[in-house]
Structure 1
């Protein structure tokens, strides 16, 4: 079968959530199908070139379209007067992208289109082929949770985008042959029968128990894209509500915040407290997790399923999250993972793991087994191709 994939970002096993999901989907599809990808990318950037080479090594043909900020701004301004167009999607509208897709439709003659997230869907709106949309998360649910935390003008703007996004992703789900999210909670939020929930997978070769030389003293780790608002909210909540008491009881404790694009507010925490280290992008998230005593994911907003939680569990690092962070992960609280929503409970969960090597090892090892048994990319992608009817 011939498959034409389109994405706003180049799929990559070491990048953001949608890029990781699409990388492993395409790797699976390329085994038995001919796959061509069109995505925004810049061949002059080393990280884009490396990601392109990794896909080409799998037999995938990659076409880059350069994302131009002035073009994006023009579409963004037009979207102000179009209540049906989310600003998220306007940013990735591109005449050049559409033309490249249409040229490949004529020359390549794909049997199906695989669309990564709804952001690029306007570029294939007139398509009559089978279309499979990997929404990954419900952006509508994500925005609705962020609206509840915002105030003033920011709340008004988020609410405006939330209403647009909710309407748009439902329309996409109705138009697509099948759509996919990583959580039943997101599936229910969209509320369309053709949306299927398939959980995230984890690369077990990359994320595994490998303690090596752990850092001296207790280390708490938070990992993730630190330019992403739900991650910023989570770190701010923990530092404001939990960190002072934990540090007062364990003065030698360290907090590592590892992830690309750290927001200025996150960088400020590291400048004001020498026990907090904001690393920015790191060569290996697994290495950070394997040196940590405890991983935290105190999510207060966001949607979907959290890679950061599954990655920490895969490394046998005992993990503490909130009910919102746990979401649709079917791990057992108190056995595979610790779950706490109030700051006193979250503090107690972290302290109990730091205080007891026996409890820490039990939670860590049980969490690792859970991920191995439930989040294999191979098994998850078999579900995907079966629903799509692709060999």
Structure 2
């Protein structure tokens, strides 16, 4: 049954190999299954994993681009031209004239019922207010710039992030006037975004696929997953290795930490090698093959401007999670998660590894959490309430 046609403009190829692309991929799959014809316009970055999208009714127009570098002062110097734009650096750097032209050509060729601008940098492709325009928030970049301003040790980068924060506010004020609806990723983001324009602002559930529970209640191993060029992941992992791992390894010498994720640079890979029983696996297409060896997952993320898909993914596989409170911001429920302060993080992990019954209980609670709040059912309710599904 054909329901209509949707154009989705997104920030990267929706392979499902990063947190934000997981949300995009499974939203596309859901809508295609419901009978929508979908066209997708997106860049693909050379060094990132590209899993070809083969979904009936979906046509993708990918454009090859150079990979975004890890945020650093050196990277900013290499990309200095983008610093002089009135747009935020992230938006200016990701703009592509070919994508812009393709979007306009597709709009001329087809009548779209809805046009989704999926991610902060994509709303610059809007030309004017249109009833079909919907902005999907995948991370509150403006809030992220402010948090980085407050927490980054390098003072030059702090100045850069403060300027970026102001640019982001201006960028949002201009482009949010051109969308009919805004779908926020978290309650905090919704509260902020609904003050910026007349667009109707709603909280969109983030869904992840349901997996078989692979939780290994006899294991003592730990997993961390994430994009390893993303600053907050690198900072959190380095903190964990420097402050927690030696004590965990001394208490439980057979315990291993496995790290999955793409885009780790050579310096970070060498840093990881300094720690015993810590293994960097890189990108793993089938997470079951690693997660089924593990007793729990960790999320030491101290800056969060949305919702951490890594935590949803852990819980969807039945893995208990140890996380700090900031890492769970945006979640409706923290069932399946032990919330821990920095000074208790090590003890929380050791305690959980020693208590098989607690791990089993958390595993069940986490799976139920995903069913209630991050499943296809919650997305169906959302689209029905918007009038997109009837």
Same topology, TM > 0.5: yes
Unpaired runs of at least 5, structure 1: none
Secondary structure of the structure 1 residue equivalent to 2:146:
helix
- In the TM superposition, residue 242 of structure 1 has moved relative to its aligned partner by 1.5
Query: C-alpha distance in 1, partners of 2:361/2:131?
Result: 50
Matched, 1:153 2:149: no
- In the TM superposition, residue 215 of structure 1 has moved relative to its aligned partner by 11
- In the TM superposition, residue 129 of structure 1 has moved relative to its aligned partner by 4.7
Corresponding residue for 1:97?
99
Kept in 2: contact 1:136–1:180 (CA 8 A): no
Structure 1 residues 112-131: aligned runs within 5 Å: 112-126=114-128, 128-131=130-133
- In the TM superposition, residue 283 of structure 1 has moved relative to its aligned partner by 2.2
How many residues align structurally? 373
- In the TM superposition, residue 299 of structure 1 has moved relative to its aligned partner by 0.9
- In the TM superposition, residue 51 of structure 1 has moved relative to its aligned partner by 2.3
Corresponding residue for 2:12?
9
Structure 1 residues 14-33: aligned runs within 5 Å: 14-30=16-32, 31-33=34-36
Query: C-alpha distance in 1, partners of 2:259/2:66?
Result: 31
Corresponding residue for 1:60?
58
Change (3 A) 1:81 1:41: closer
Secondary structure of the structure 2 residue equivalent to 1:222:
strand
TM-score, normalised to structure 1, is 0.86
Kept in 2: contact 1:223–1:285 (CA 8 A): no
209, 212, 216: which one pairs with 1:203? 209
Kept in 1: contact 2:217–2:356 (CA 8 A): no
Structure 1 residues 153-232: aligned runs within 5 Å: 153-192=156-195, 194-204=200-210, 207-211=211-215, 218-232=220-234
Query: C-alpha distance in 1, partners of 2:277/2:47?
Result: 34
Kept in 2: contact 1:111–1:129 (CA 8 A): no
Corresponding residue for 1:276?
278
Corresponding residue for 1:251?
253
Query: C-alpha distance in 2, partners of 1:215/1:291?
Result: 9
Matched, 1:35 2:38: yes
- In the TM superposition, residue 143 of structure 1 has moved relative to its aligned partner by 1.9
Kept in 1: contact 2:14–2:22 (CA 8 A): yes
Corresponding residue for 2:340?
340
- In the TM superposition, residue 23 of structure 1 has moved relative to its aligned partner by 1.8
Query: C-alpha distance in 2, partners of 1:248/1:168?
Result: 50
Secondary structure of the structure 1 residue equivalent to 2:259:
strand
Query: C-alpha distance in 2, partners of 1:111/1:317?
Result: 39
Query: C-alpha distance in 1, partners of 2:28/2:138?
Result: 14
Query: C-alpha distance in 2, partners of 1:278/1:259?
Result: 8
Kept in 1: contact 2:318–2:367 (CA 8 A): yes
- In the TM superposition, residue 232 of structure 1 has moved relative to its aligned partner by 0.7
Superimposed CA distance per residue, residues 96-122 of structure 1 (whole angstroms, 9 cap, x where no aligned partner): 222211111111122321111121222
Superimposed CA distance per residue, residues 33-55 of structure 1 (whole angstroms, 9 cap, x where no aligned partner): 3222222248x99954x423x2x
Corresponding residue for 1:303?
305
Change (3 A) 1:321 1:69: closer
Superimposed CA distance per residue, residues 4-37 of structure 1 (whole angstroms, 9 cap, x where no aligned partner): 221221223x322222222222223333332222
- In the TM superposition, residue 145 of structure 1 has moved relative to its aligned partner by 1.7
TM-score, normalised to structure 2, is 0.87
Matched, 1:144 2:146: yes
Query: C-alpha distance in 1, partners of 2:56/2:368?
Result: 29
Query: C-alpha distance in 2, partners of 1:168/1:385?
Result: 31
Unpaired runs of at least 5, structure 2: 69-75
Secondary structure of the structure 2 residue equivalent to 1:113:
strand
Secondary structure of the structure 1 residue equivalent to 2:84:
coil
- In the TM superposition, residue 94 of structure 1 has moved relative to its aligned partner by 2.3
Query: C-alpha distance in 2, partners of 1:29/1:216?
Result: 39
Kept in 1: contact 2:10–2:119 (CA 8 A): yes
Kept in 2: contact 1:65–1:97 (CA 8 A): yes
Secondary structure of the structure 2 residue equivalent to 1:10:
coil
Query: C-alpha distance in 1, partners of 2:110/2:88?
Result: 30
Query: C-alpha distance in 2, partners of 1:155/1:81?
Result: 17
Superimposed CA distance per residue, residues 208-265 of structure 1 (whole angstroms, 9 cap, x where no aligned partner): 3125xx6986211111111111111110111122112222222222111111111444
Query: C-alpha distance in 2, partners of 1:388/1:118?
Result: 24
